[in-house]
């Protein structure tokens, strides 16, 4: 992807949903997940988050094409993570999803999406954030631990780590 072209990050609109569903399904069909998501179920979930005052859902457009998405909400909504973290993190913003199209990876889009969603979280009076990722996702670990100073605060099922830190 040419970084000189325009990247626009904004709150998800209804017109973004189908592109985000297709992108999400493509991203998570890859290693390490190899997961298949029903498009209708995912569309309903994304539309609900896009229209919820309690969720923050962003889309990244590169030259008018959706190339990434980022979703977050209060960590209490993610009960399996909430149960594993110490009380100091239980009023945190939970970064649920960050996904970028294969052709646009390693161009800074995930970092820009995370900057934007964490700024939105700060605007909504969150002061801390929690992120869960696969141990097979070093880029997310790098963006959280190395770039943002988060700490690994828990492990889940030996395959996932939970990171937390100040915004």
Per-residue pLDDT tens, the chain, 167 aa: give them.
555 568 999 999 999 999 999 999 999 999 878 899 999 999 999 999 999 999 999 999 999 999 999 999 999 999 999 999 999 999 999 999 999 999 999 999 999 999 999 999 999 999 999 999 999 999 999 999 999 999 999 999 999 999 999 99
Q: Which CATH number does 7-166 carry?
A: 3.40.630.30
Domain ranges of the chain: 7-166
pLDDT at 5: 62
pLDDT at 31: 84
Residue 122: Cβ within 10 Å count: 13
Q: Using CA atoms in the order 28, 153, 53, 68, what is the torsion angle rounded to 10 degrees?
A: -30
CA atoms within 13 A on the CB side of 90: 9
pLDDT at 50: 97
pLDDT at 127: 98
């Amino acid at each position: 992807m040419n970084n000189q072209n325009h990247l626009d990050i904004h709150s998800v609109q209804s017109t973004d949903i189908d592109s985000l569903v297709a992108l999400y399904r493509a991203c998570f069909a890859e290693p390490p997940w190899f997961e298949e998501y029903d498009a209708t179920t995912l569309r309903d979930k994304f539309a609900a988050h896009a229209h919820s005052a309690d969720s923050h859902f962003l889309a990244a457009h590169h030259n008018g094409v959706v190339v990434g998405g980022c979703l977050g909400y209060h960590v209490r909504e993610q009960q399996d993570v909430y149960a594993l973290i110490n009380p100091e993190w239980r009023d945190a913003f939970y970064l649920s999803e960050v996904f970028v199209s294969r052709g646009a990876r390693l161009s800074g889009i995930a970092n820009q999406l995370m900057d934007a969603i964490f700024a939105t979280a700060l605007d909504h009076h969150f002061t801390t954030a929690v992120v869960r990722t696969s141990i097979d996702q070093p880029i997310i670990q790098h963006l959280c631990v190395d770039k943002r100073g988060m700490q690994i605060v828990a492990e889940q099922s030996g395959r996932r780590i939970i990171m937390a830190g100040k915004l």
